[in-house]
């Protein structure tokens, strides 16, 4: 993989923009469901009026840190419902103490898997099941599509498509590049030579058995564009179906429903169902 071009140094912080409450479209039905006993083990299921095009599981980012929650994913769910999709916004245990904490490897991944299972069960086994994740949620979305390979999650509900939005797709590189001020190593609780990375790192799991779209901005200063570029190159070389969708708008354009970057995500969804 070509690493000759310099890449912007990612920022140590993760400053998610404040978002107003989402305007819910006519006929929108919204229901919160628990999939475990912890206060962070819940999902919001958003249903459209009429026949759904399928299920999109929306997994938020925030470098897996407890202070960043699922609230900023709700505007995406509202937009998806307006377009005829059922959307499941997933909350999960994150890294840290206090509210939102208790996660990390493998607890966070256990949560995401259980949430997808619950969303699929509640929607009567929909087709397709799209995992859509931003930043650290992009890692979790790609991981979710590989999880049934491993004994711990062998009976989990399968994901049929992955859309990664500015995601962390190479955990070892994230450790090396100190993304999020050590966030990847804090999430894993180990350095990349530990065998747990074989179970957790999307780059080590290529090719997936389902198509992957990596939607990423070259001007992203939080998660480098090279994370998407290198992942797609590796996946294709391994025989996988992977696509790089280059957009503009930095790290957060892909989660702004009014942006051209989100329009590119919608275009991918339109190609799926």
Q: What CA–CA distance (Å, rounded) separates 137 from 143?
A: 10
Q: What CA–CA distance (Å, rounded) separates 182 from 162?
A: 26
Residue 265 belongs to some domain of the structure: yes
pTM reported for the whole predicted model: 0.92
Q: What is the CATH number of the domain that holds 247?
A: 3.40.50.1820
- How many domains does the chain contain in total? 1
Place of tokens 């929650």: 69
Q: Is the pLDDT assigned to residue 12 strictly greater than 90?
A: no
pLDDT in tens, 119-146: 999 998 789 999 999 999 999 999 999 9
Tokens of 27: 């006929």
Residue 48 belongs to some domain of the structure: yes
Which domain, by its residues, includes 37? 29-272
pLDDT in tens, 69-116: 999 899 999 999 999 999 999 999 999 988 999 999 999 999 999 999
Where do runs of H (alpha helix) occur along 171-224? 171-176, 183-188, 196-200
Query: What is the pLDDT confidence band of residue 10, given thresholds at 50, 70 and 90?
Result: very low
Residue 57 belongs to some domain of the structure: yes
Residue 173 belongs to some domain of the structure: yes
Residue 6 belongs to some domain of the structure: no
Residue 15 belongs to some domain of the structure: no
Residue 21 belongs to some domain of the structure: no
Query: What is the pLDDT confidence band of residue 266, given thresholds at 50, 70 and 90?
Result: very high
Q: What pLDDT, on a 0 to 100 scale, did the predictor assign at position 226? A: 98
Q: Is the pLDDT assigned to residue 23 strictly greater than 60?
A: no
Tokens of 112: 């995401």
Residue 165 belongs to some domain of the structure: yes
Q: Is the pLDDT assigned to residue 55 strictly greater than 80?
A: yes
């Amino acid at each position: 993989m070509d690493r000759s071009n310099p890449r912007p140094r990612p920022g140590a912080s993760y400053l998610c923009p404040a978002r107003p409450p989402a305007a819910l479209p006519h006929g929108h039905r919204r229901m919160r469901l628990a999939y475990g006993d912890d206060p962070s083990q819940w999902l919001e299921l958003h249903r459209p009026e009429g026949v759904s095009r399928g299920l999109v599981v929306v997994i938020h980012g925030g470098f897996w840190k407890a202070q960043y929650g699922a609230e900023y994913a709700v505007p995406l769910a509202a937009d998806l419902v307006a377009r005829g999709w059922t959307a499941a916004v997933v909350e999960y245990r994150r890294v840290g103490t206090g509210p939102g904490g208790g996660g990390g490897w493998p607890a966070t991944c256990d949560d995401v898997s259980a949430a997808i299972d619950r969303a699929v069960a509640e929607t009567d086994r929909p087709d397709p099941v799209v995992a859509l994740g931003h930043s650290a949620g992009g890692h979790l979305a790609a991981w979710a599509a590989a999880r049934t390979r491993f004994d711990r999650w062998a009976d989990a509900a399968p994901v049929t498509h992955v859309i990664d939005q500015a995601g962390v797709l190479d955990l070892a590189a994230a450790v090396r590049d100190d993304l999020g001020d050590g966030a990847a190593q804090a999430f894993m609780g180990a350095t990349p030579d530990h065998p747990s990375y074989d179970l957790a790192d999307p780059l080590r799991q290529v090719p997936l058995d389902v198509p992957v779209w990596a939607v990423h901005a070259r001007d992203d200063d939080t998660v480098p564009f090279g994370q998407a570029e290198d992942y797609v190159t590796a996946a294709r070389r391994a025989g996988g179906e992977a696509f790089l969708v280059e957009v503009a708008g930095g790290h957060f354009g892909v989660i702004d429903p009014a942006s051209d970057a989100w329009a590119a995500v919608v275009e991918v969804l339109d190609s799926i169902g």
